[in-house]
Amino acid sequence: MKFSLYDFSSFTAWIDSSLRASMSPGWAVAVEMILIGIAILIFYAIVGLFLVYAERKVCALMQNRLGPNRVGPGGVFQTIADLVKLLFVELVPIKNADRALFNLAPFIVIIASFMAIGAIPFAKGLQAIDLNIGVFYLIAISSMGVIGVLLAGWASNNKYSLIGAMRSGAQIVSYELSVGLALVTMVVLAGTMQLSEIIEGQRWGWFIFKGHIPAVIAFVIYIIAGTAETNRGPFDLAEAESELTAGYHTEYSGIKFAFFFLAEYMNMFIVAAIATTVFFGGWMPFHVYGWDGFNAVMDFVPPLIWFLVKTFFVIFLMMWLKWTFPRLRIDQLLTLEWKYLLPINIFNLLLMAFLVLTGLHW
């Protein structure tokens, strides 16, 4: 086996067998679930905090500033300090708000992003669940967050929030199509929806190179639609601070606000991770067919590093977009989706199907 050096499946199999040796299979599964939950929670918190820090630094780079540089070396602990502050901030009770929905909304948003993380393959064998309909599952789960956004806008009894939620609903429902179709295009190329097999199919060339022009088009559309789906600039209409103050989370404070905030960054991470998996070969190192020495050197870099580097490259692209582009207007946003991206996408899907059928891809 080529990747035995960094294969996590032997590690997870060892945990599994040692648990099963000491308890009944039912309990073993339960303990494994709890372990996975804790692992994802810790990962979630670390990546979330790091992304907030990274965004501030990238934004500072774009804007001729230094960014956070006081707390810790290079300001790395700034986000932790901010989180601690957010934990102690008072949760302001809103008059005439629908208390139950108001409290439920941040959890729905954050749970949606939790569930998506479970299916993402970080390295070989380092994946909570390898569904045979992985791509489908991710598309389904990532559109659940909009329910939370809509609830937040509705339940906070604030007119700005309601407009924000309204916009967000229209936006996410529209761009869900583009995300889905762009991924379906790549599924046609891969011939499978299972994420581990999609990555395995990219051993001798990532799909963005393999799929010719349709793959590049699909990637561009995916990045646009993915940015829109995470409510980030230039598509941050739902929270457009110069128009709607903060949109759907205007009324949230303290840790509930932090949930929205963290979920936004984690959604960005998930979108980037899916892009990495489907277009850039996931954790698969860069291989060139026939160059065995080169490939061996590439294999020496751990797959987790490959995955994170590619993911953060995509995240950087998204941040770059956000900090250089002005915001779209709602009608332009919908026009872009329904009049341009969707037709291009459908045509692109047909083109990809044609390529695959005629065997023009390699």
Residues 262-301 that bind another protein (CB under 8 A): none
Q: Which residues contact 54 (CB under 8 A, 6 or more apart)?
A: 312, 315, 319
Q: Does 325 bind another protein (CB under 8 A)?
A: yes
Q: Which of 322, 326, 332, 323 is nearest to 171 (CA)?
A: 332
Closer Cβ to another protein, 241 or 292, answer by number: 241
Least Å from the CB of residue 242 to another protein:
4
How many residues bind another protein (CB under 8 A)? The answer is 30
Please, are residues 344 and 221 in contact by the beta-carbon 8 Å criterion? yes
Residue selected from 40, 245, 304, 344 as contacting another protein according to rule CB under 8 A: 245
Residue selected from 328, 342, 351, 355 as contacting another protein according to rule CB under 8 A: 328
Least Å from the CB of residue 13 to another protein:
48
Computed on alpha carbons and rounded to an integer, the radius of gyration of the chain in Å comes to 21
Least Å from the CB of residue 52 to another protein:
16
Alpha carbon separation from 184 to 74, 134, 144, 262, 325 (Å, rounded): 42, 12, 19, 28, 28
**Cα first-last separation, the chain:** 24
Alpha carbon separation from 139 to 86, 131, 159, 174, 177 (Å, rounded): 31, 13, 30, 13, 10
Q: Does 240 bind another protein (CB under 8 A)?
A: yes
Residues 37-66 that bind another protein (CB under 8 A): 59, 62-65
57/63 Cα distance (integer angstroms): 10
* Binding-residue pattern over the window 2 to 31 for another protein, x denoting contact by CB under 8 A: ------------------------------
Q: Does 331 bind another protein (CB under 8 A)?
A: yes
The DSSP letter of residue 236 is -
Residue selected from 233, 247, 281, 285 as contacting another protein according to rule CB under 8 A: 233
Residue selected from 16, 243, 253, 286 as contacting another protein according to rule CB under 8 A: 243
Q: Does 160 bind another protein (CB under 8 A)?
A: yes
Q: Does 130 bind another protein (CB under 8 A)?
A: no
Closer Cβ to another protein, 134 or 164, answer by number: 164
Q: Does 69 bind another protein (CB under 8 A)?
A: no
- Half-sphere exposure of residue 11, counting CA atoms within 13 Å on the CB side? 10
Residue selected from 24, 242, 293, 360 as contacting another protein according to rule CB under 8 A: 242
Please, are residues 38 and 30 in contact by the beta-carbon 8 Å criterion? no
Please, are residues 270 and 120 in contact by the beta-carbon 8 Å criterion? yes
Please, are residues 275 and 226 in contact by the beta-carbon 8 Å criterion? yes
Q: Does 327 bind another protein (CB under 8 A)?
A: yes
Closer Cβ to another protein, 45 or 334, answer by number: 334
Least Å from the CB of residue 100 to another protein:
25
Closer Cβ to another protein, 131 or 321, answer by number: 321
Closer Cβ to another protein, 236 or 251, answer by number: 236
Window of 83-91, 236-244, 294-302, 341-349 that interacts with another protein by CB under 8 A: 236-244
Query: Which structure tokens are listed for 325?
Result: 């582009």
Please, are residues 289 and 204 in contact by the beta-carbon 8 Å criterion? yes
Q: Does 154 bind another protein (CB under 8 A)?
A: no
Residue selected from 234, 304, 344, 356 as contacting another protein according to rule CB under 8 A: 234
Cβ neighbours of 286 (radius 10 Å): 17
The DSSP letter of residue 285 is P
Q: Which of 182, 266, 185, 193 is nearest to 225 (CA)?
A: 182
The DSSP letter of residue 204 is T
Q: Does 236 bind another protein (CB under 8 A)?
A: yes
Q: Does 157 bind another protein (CB under 8 A)?
A: no
106/12 Cα distance (integer angstroms): 32
Q: Does 96 bind another protein (CB under 8 A)?
A: no
240/233 Cα distance (integer angstroms): 9
Question: Which residues are near another protein by CB under 8 A?
Answer: 59, 62-65, 159-160, 163, 166-167, 233-234, 236-237, 240-245, 323-332
